[in-house]
Chains A and B, each alone.
Chain A
């Protein structure tokens, strides 16, 4: 059912545009031209972030940092099995999905840990990735409190997610 929504909306849009005598094909192409611009300017920042994440994980620093953070996270209600996920979630979306998959096979689907992992991953976002593509092509060099607040929100939503899984 949900599958119908987006194609239906598009169809309505095209019909409305045709009604208003807007050349759909031309305007589509005009818009799509901007896509390459956005992606090319975002790429170097994306590459840098992903390289940092990979080195962080490969060197074992990620696992060590996760072990270090686990007690603090447990204090606010996040199971320690999720500490590596929480640590890496702001850095990599595909990495997070892979981690959630690992947790699913390790602890079984429908377990408390697994449900928490899914909700945590689903309710937060890749902070550094968003930061790099949002601010990447601009002259902005000082982000001030942007990233700390975004990270705080991530921790908040993770703790809340785990609590919700406990009571729901």
Chain B
């Protein structure tokens, strides 16, 4: 931020405040859009919760969650994670995000550091899970592509590969961390 601001000061200071305001405006618009999206999805998900479907879902996904996130997950967190993962797999990013946020918040123990489980959930979500990139296909069609949907397969492969890669890296770092602690304790 400091670097950019100083550069901008030299290059074109009149653009600085305008740029900041434009970006802030963008944040407002984005937040409003998200508010609408989340209202729909959180409403739907509340119904899902009250019909007991999310409980059934988390029972189904328990082994996967244990493997990815470890054993110390509270049942409430488990539910949020299951819905988050399922929504991601079904390509419903708008549903996944609020559930991911709830999951992270329920894992917050007030100690101020991100836990391993939080990081795993974050990396999985931030690695770009989506099944069909509809916006991009639309853009390609508009730009004159003759086969806009043929990016589906490479995108799918890349998404799955990066999710696996992300999981391996996070797990690897966790194991390294535990081994380091053991070395320190053994003296």
User: Taking beta carbons and an 8 Å cutoff, which residues of A are in contact with B?
Assistant: 2, 6, 10, 13-14, 16-17, 20, 22, 24, 27-32, 34-36, 38-40, 42-43, 46-47, 49-56, 58-61, 94, 97, 100-101, 104-105, 108-110, 114-115, 118-119, 121-127, 130-131, 133-135, 137-146, 149-150, 152-154, 156-157, 160-161, 164-165, 168
- Choice from B28, B40, B105, B155 contacting A161 with Cβ under 8 Å: B155
Contact B140 A119 (CB under 8 A): no
The CA of A138 and the CA of B34, in the complex, are separated in Å by 19
The CA of A157 and the CA of B128, in the complex, are separated in Å by 9
Contact A46 B27 (CB under 8 A): yes
Contact A61 B7 (CB under 8 A): yes
Q: What is the 8 Å Cβ interface bit string for chain B, positions 30-51, against chain A (1 contact, 0 not)?
A: 1110110011101111111111
Contact B139 A101 (CB under 8 A): yes
The CA of A110 and the CA of B133, in the complex, are separated in Å by 16
- Choice from A47, A51, A59 contacting B7 with Cβ under 8 Å: A59
Within B108-135, which residues are at the interface with A (CB < 8 Å)? 108, 110-114, 118-119, 122-123, 125-130, 132-133, 135
Contact A31 B139 (CB under 8 A): no
User: Taking CB as reference atom, which chain B residue is nearest A127?
Assistant: B126
Q: How many A-B residue pairs have CB under 8 A?
A: 281
Interface of B is mostly: helix
Residues of B within 8 A of A60 (CB): 7, 11
Contact A13 B44 (CB under 8 A): yes
Contact A138 B169 (CB under 8 A): no
User: Taking CB as reference atom, which chain A residue is nearest B37?
Assistant: A35
Give 7 pairs: A residue, B residue, CB < 8 Å, sorted on A. A39-B31, A58-B4, A110-B147, A119-B155, A144-B119, A150-B166, A157-B161
Residues of A within 8 A of B162 (CB): 123-124, 153-154, 156-157, 160
Residues of B within 8 A of A145 (CB): 119, 170, 173
User: Taking CB as reference atom, which chain A residue is nearest B18?
Assistant: A58
Given contacts A17-B47, A110-B146, contact A38 B38 (CB under 8 A): yes
Given contacts A13-B47, A130-B126, contact A61 B101 (CB under 8 A): no
